[in-house]
Amino acid sequence: MALRVFEGRPLAAKMLVIGLIILGLMIPLFMLRGLIVERSQMRSQAIDTVAKGWGGSLTVGGAMLRVPFHIERKSNSGEVSMESHQLYILPDDLNIQASLEHMTTRRIGIYGVPVYLVRIKMTGTFKMADVLAAAATGPYPSATYHWKDARVRLPISDVRGVREFIGATVDEHPLAFGPAREFIVSQVRSLIDITPALVAAL
């Protein structure tokens, strides 16, 4: 019966055979596609597992100074209230040198995840004369600045990825960095008294 249907129609018969062959090949292809998707998901899980312990992608910003200050507000009824604010000072110049080193490959099952160590050297300068000028001519010229409670802040996208601070100084004074969690961007910070630098800038 099938032969009679395609009798005199060799082109239609060939197209049917080709279609059946394509359909037969698509079945194992779909099976392989599912396997590839599953393996890709397992590799992503392996990368996430290593990142939780070693640290994921890391973005480091330039150092900045944060100086707390407060201003007095007087209401119509004569009540005086104190408002706390923060002055952020960016460096006048900044130089960052980074070198990438391949450490090792961490294995999770059959997957190898390469991990790297980046060594960063950062130098910069803050012009204290400009800081004093900005404080005097800013929106709050009568504000009280707490220069002794200033902090050096270093934005870091993922603090878990930091292995160590080999050394950090400001005017040859060593800094001891710790996590800073109250800021919108993940950072580390160190307390510093910049009063001597301001006096020298006068």
- Phi, psi of 171, rounded to the nearest 5 degrees: 55, 45
Residue 22 is assigned to a structural domain of this protein? yes
Same domain as 180, residue 96: yes
CA distance 65 to 194: 10
Q: Work out how many domains the chain is built from and give that number.
A: 2
pLDDT digits 0-9 by tens, 63-121: 888 889 998 887 788 788 888 888 888 888 999 888 887 778 888 888 888 888 888 88
Residue 59 lies in a domain: no
Same domain, 82 and 18: no
* Residue 26 in domain: yes
Q: What is the pLDDT of residues 152-171, one digit of tens each?
A: 888 888 777 777 777 788 77
Within-domain flag for 45: yes
Are 6 and 40 in a shared domain?
Answer: yes
Are 108 and 177 members of one domain?
yes
Q: Are residues 73 and 169 in the same domain?
A: yes
Task: Please report which residue ranges of the chain form alpha helices under DSSP H.
Answer: 2-5, 10-54, 128-137, 195-201
Q: Which residue has the higher pLDDT, 182 or 146?
A: 146
Number of helical (H) and strand (E) elements in the chain, helices listed first: 4, 10
Give Cα separations from 6 to 14, 59, 136, 139 (angstroms). Answer: 10, 68, 96, 90
Which two structure tokens, joined as six digits, stand for 29?
Answer: 């292809």
Q: Which of 10, 29, 54 is the last residue of a domain?
A: 54
Task: Tell me what pLDDT residue 182 has.
Answer: 59
**118 and 46 housed in the same domain:** no
Q: Hey, what amino acid is at 129?
A: A
Residues 45 and 70 in one domain: no
Do residues 20 and 74 share a domain? Answer: no
Does the residue 120 lie in any domain?
yes
Whether residue 18 has pLDDT greater than 60: yes
Same domain for 123 and 163, yes or no, is yes
> Which of 47-61, 135-149, 187-201 is least confident?
47-61
pLDDT value of residue 1: 47
Does 187 share its domain with 94?
Answer: yes
pTM score of the predicted model: 0.64
Whether residue 21 is found in the same domain as residue 48 = yes
Residue 30 resides in a domain: yes
pLDDT band at 54 (very low <50, low <70, confident <90, very high): confident
Q: Residue 12: give the domain boundaries.
A: 2-54
Long-range Cβ contact pairs of 127-130 (< 8 A, separation 24 or more) = 127/92, 127/201, 128/194, 128/197, 128/198, 128/200, 128/201, 129/201, 130/92
Note whether 41 and 111 are within 8 A (CB): no
Is the domain of 8 the same as that of 77? Answer: no
